[in-house]
Amino acid sequence: MNRAKRLKTKGIYFLFRGLQAIALPVLLLYFLFRGLRNRGYWTSLPQRFGFVPHSFRQTGPGAIWLHAVSVGEVLACVELLRGLRRELPHTRLFLSTSTLAGRATANHKLAGLADGVFYAPVDYVFAVRRVLRALKPSVVVVAETEIWPNLFREVKRTGAGLTLVNGRISDRAFPRYLPFRRFFAGVLPFADSILAQTDELRERFVALGAPPDRVRTGQFQV
């Protein structure tokens, strides 16, 4: 990345983090409000702010962290986890989800496949760094369209690999993303590879700023 691109990326992240600081109280109120109806939101807060169970902590790098936001993504990743477990039997595999339903599905479907299931950290630097320090992953795999700026940047700062699998950008979302192409162009290059579901979806990632040589159509191969 040349100097001009580095400065541009720093500017994008500076603006993003400024907006996050303003939004933090709103985020906390959201979880507290949802917790009035479902206590699961309250009990999930420590993990959402980066405090994973002590048993997840690794003494050295080598683990794989897979993020699947909700039920559909979890189900789509079952075969991937089976393949990883078969080919890398001694590697610790962790999976994060963002929703209560996704967490429940992962607990049910991934028993014996994942070494740990947890709620993904909110995309604040302090939360993401806590998880990365605990898991020490060598690779982070993100399913579908979870493009989180701080997560992507912090993963690469640790030296870990970052890949997006089963990538898709829906017909509805793509026109909404295009006006923010400069923002995505500062984030997507942190991914080492993006595996899109179709050739058309591949072109959408490229149009948003992903390096063309890192985006291809295909399935994740273990």
pLDDT tens by residue, 122-165: 999 999 999 999 999 999 999 988 899 999 999 999 999 999 99
Q: Rounded mean pLDDT of 43-71?
A: 95
Tell me what pLDDT residue 87 has. 94
Q: State yes or no: pLDDT of 171 exceeds 90.
A: yes
Domain boundaries, the chain: 3-217
Q: State yes or no: pLDDT of 2 exceeds 70.
A: no
Q: Do the strands 193-196 and 161-167 form a parallel or antiparallel pair, or are they unpaired?
A: parallel
Tell me what pLDDT residue 202 has. 97
3-class DSSP assignment, residue 171: coil
> Is domain 3-217 given the CATH code 3.90.180.10 in the classification?
no
Provide the pLDDT confidence category of residue 9 given band limits of 50, 70 and 90: confident
Tell me what pLDDT residue 7 has. 66
For the chain, how big is the Rg over CA atoms in Å? 17
Find out whether 107 and 40 touch, Cβ atoms under 8 Å. no
Q: Rounded mean pLDDT of 110-115?
A: 92
